[in-house]
Amino acid sequence: MPIRLKPLGKQVLVVTGATSGNGLAIAERAARSGAAVVAVARNAVALEDLRARLAADGARIATCVADVADLPALERAAMVATDTFGGLDSWINNAATGTYGTLEQVPVEDHRRVFDVNYFGTLYGSLVAARHLRARGGGAIVNVGSILGDRAILQQGPYSATKHAVQALTDTLRMELEREGAGVSVTLVKPGAIDTPFPEHARNFMDSPARLPPPLYTPEVVADAVLFACANARRTLYAGGGGLLSSVMSQAAPRLADAIMEALGTTVQQKPDDPGEPERRDNLYEPRADALRGSRKVQARRSSLTLQIQKLPSSVALGLLGVGVGVALAGVARSRRTRQISQASAIAS
């Protein structure tokens, strides 16, 4: 069965992690576009605030309090979509949690919790969505991964591991649904660093407040990518050129990327002079205060040229991205040659 996706304004969307960061941006933008939204999150108070605010503007919105690590809770979210709006057209697995600290610092039970939310939550949502979309004759599943699915980063080992797993899960799900001709599009969106409350929400074992390394983008960039994928079948979308560049560099020069990470990876993820709002800290097991953006003073880009290029027809996008990647690789090669020359000069002297 060919994939035929409805225009966004005629869709019913289920969005997990809908009260904070990327999920909040997705829910708000979808509602403004005319889509019906089922917002899913643990934070009942924030969900009701979101429902009341969007409904006052005429949006079609329903809510479901759920922890994505609980399969029956996500099945209940699908029933909310069916009972309220007659079904669902796109399911967005966005909810995630994380920790900061070394693999030894993070207790094993916290490793498991990150996997329960990020991997199993995505698995459960995908299974529930696939069953409902098959019955409706197709639709879209959009999983929010990360550039950390392409390479790991110091201090975020469990989170990085889950995003590698989510990438494999998404690829497997896509192949299975394609093989059976289900008419379901499966997209993996890979954000770079996004200015959300994530560093404040994450459980932190470092000796300094956590932050995300620049360049940062606003959550609206991720919402742009996700909602485009709901209406246009795409395999992968990178949300932010900084993330794509990091991924390319890691694949082209993995040892150099490791060396840079080892030297700077911890420092660029700490912000000792700006701890953020205390009421947001540590939502690993229980919800904390939610918001669209982080509370720190940071610069965040409001658009991504890299994303806009990916939204073009595939042949054009590949050509333009190929040029950009070529330029980036040439820069990496020059950097390696310069380092080698410097090392040789030091030895000769």
Q: What is the distance of C-alpha 175 from the center of its chain?
A: 21
- Residue whose pair of structure tokens reads 């940062």 in the numeric block: 216
Among 100, 119, 124, 159, which one carries the catalytic annotation? 159
User: Which tokens belong to 182?
Assistant: 């289900």
Task: Specify the amino acid at residue 261.
Answer: M
Instruction: Write out 213-270 in H/E/C secondary structure.
Output: CCCEECHHHHHHHHHHHHHCCCCEEEECHHHHHHHHHHHHCHHHHHHHHHHHCCHHHE
Question: Could you identify the residue written with the tokens 């040029």?
Answer: 323
Q: Is 95 helix (H, G, I), strand (E, B) or coil?
A: coil
DSSP 10: G
Which residues does residue 63 pair with via DSSP β-bridges, in sequence order?
39
Query: How far apart (Å, rounded) are the C-alpha atoms in residues 134 and 183?
Result: 8
* Rounded Cα distance, 136 and 3, in Å: 12
At 187 the three-state DSSP class reads strand
Query: Cβ of 72: how many Cβ atoms within 10 Å?
Result: 10
Candidates 287, 289, 283, 291; CA nearest to 98 is 283
CA distance 129 to 7: 19
Inter-residue contact 15 to 141 (CB < 8 Å): no
Paired tokens of 105: 């610092």
Query: Would residue 285 show up in a list of annotated catalytic residues for this protein?
Result: no
Residues classed as catalytic:
159
